[in-house]
Chains A and B, each alone.
Chain A
Amino acid sequence: MDSANLLTAVAAAEPNAKPREKADRAAVQVPVGNLSALMKRLRNDSTFAFDMLCDHTAVDWSEQGTFELVYQLYSTVHGHYLMVTTSVPRVSPIVPTVREFWRIAEFQEREVYDMFGVLYDGHPDLRRLFLEDDWKGFPLRKDYTDDFMLERPE
């Protein structure tokens, strides 16, 4: 499916999904409550058949006070891409895990937890991935500081 058809199909499947603007490919934005249901549909429905979770990451929109979680999906059956995003508040960043649909999500979600402190509900093994277990803070947050990091002098 091309991106216009894909967006229509996703909108039909999940009425709460709105197109995400300013993206270079088909992209939808869903409320965090509908994420799990939409992902299940996208994975299992044969019209979508997104069998690969290419990438999962987060963006810290510190001024809006939210984390935007980004899922890049690809279907080897149809050859189409879809970007799914959802927003969670920075103060209580809890999202459902999508590990049951794609095994790799377990590790990509651990990375996002490690770097941003996003908590995944239902994750079987949520722990730090790159940093030590006793590390303080989440380095990719915009307000992260520690006494080790050096700023580049202007």
Chain B
Amino acid sequence: MGIITEKLPCYIEPIPGGSLLLTSMDAVINWSRANSLWPLTFGTSCCAIEMMMATGAPRHDTSRFGAEVARPSPRQADLLVIAGTIVRRMAPRLKTLYEQMGEPRYVMATGSCAISGGPFMYNSYSTIRGADEIIPVDVYVPGCPPRAEAFFYGLLTLQKLIKEGESVRRPGERRKPVLSALPPGITLDQIRAEMAAVLKSDATVNVEQAAKKLEKESQDGQCESADGCCCSRT
């Protein structure tokens, strides 16, 4: 593990005859996960070179962030850096790679191709327009290819997300930055359906009314999770 740049998520209680370390397990586990990400050596095209410049080359030192142990086997890695274009033939293999990685696993899409297809978006019969059509992506790092500094910014963002979000009891189920900004009870699919309806009808739509309708529907729905966790409908 690299240089620890932040405080350990705990506090020390001074008691007579010694002191006591008080913390929550989740915080400590997340903190240690965030600081020991093992990336998979996976690169399809140009971005892989810049990723090698960032992770392997002597100028930039990824071990500062605890992410220098690049593993060629997905079973030993927990960070999948999608460096390069994903095409239709590669897509099922990418999914397999992702599924072979142990939980918890994190995905970073570096470069325009992995984000949206980039320069190969139009008129290509083969390029997948964004790796997130195949597997869930946690952090997007733009660039064509992204510089090493951008790669590190992405890595630090991911570390921040891990420290803030994930629950160790339910690995893999973590707060998505996009979803967390939504009002409670509304899912992205509902919004998409609503938007499609708005685009279809030429009448002026009362947005407040639509939101109320959605809210009402969601209140009527039963709470699915037994312990009333925040991640499903409340």
Binding site for B on A (CB under 8 A): 130-132, 139, 144, 146, 148-152
Contacts and interface: CB of A to CB of B under 8 A. Distances in A.
Contacts of A131: 89, 126
B125 interface: yes
B156 interface: no
10 contacts: A130-B89, A132-B89, A139-B125, A139-B126, A149-B123, A149-B124, A149-B125, A150-B123, A150-B129, A152-B123
Contacts of A132: 89
Contact of B122 (A139, A144, A150): A150
B131 to A, nearest CB: 16
B194 to A, nearest CB: 25
B121 A150 contact: yes
Interface string B157-188: 00000000000000000000000000000000
- Residues of A contacting B: mostly: loop
Summarize B's interface: helix, strand, loop or mixed: loop
A131 B123 CA distance: 16
B88 interface: yes
For the complex of A and B, the 10 pairs showing the least CB-CB separation, nearest first, are A152-B122, A139-B125, A149-B125, A150-B122, A132-B89, A146-B125, A152-B123, A148-B125, A149-B123, A150-B121
Contacts, number: 21
Nearest to A139: B125
Contacts of A144: 125
A151 B125 contact: no
Contacts of A149: 123-125
Nearest to A149: B125
Contacts of A146: 125
A146 B127 CA distance: 13
Contacts of B125: 139, 144, 146, 148-149
Interface of B: 88-89, 121-126, 129
A148 B88 contact: yes
Contacts of B126: 131, 139
B143 to A, nearest CB: 22
Chain B CB count within 10 A is highest, among A139, A150, A152, for A150
B126 to A, nearest CB: 8
A148 B91 CA distance: 14
Nearest to B92: A132
Nearest to A132: B89
Contacts of B129: 150
Nearest to B121: A150
A134 to B, nearest CB: 11
Contacts of B121: 150
A77 B219 CA distance: 83
Given A131-B89, A148-B88, A150-B129, 7 more contacts: A132-B89, A139-B125, A139-B126, A149-B123, A150-B122, A152-B122, A152-B123
A151 B88 contact: no
A151 B89 contact: no
A151 B123 CA distance: 5
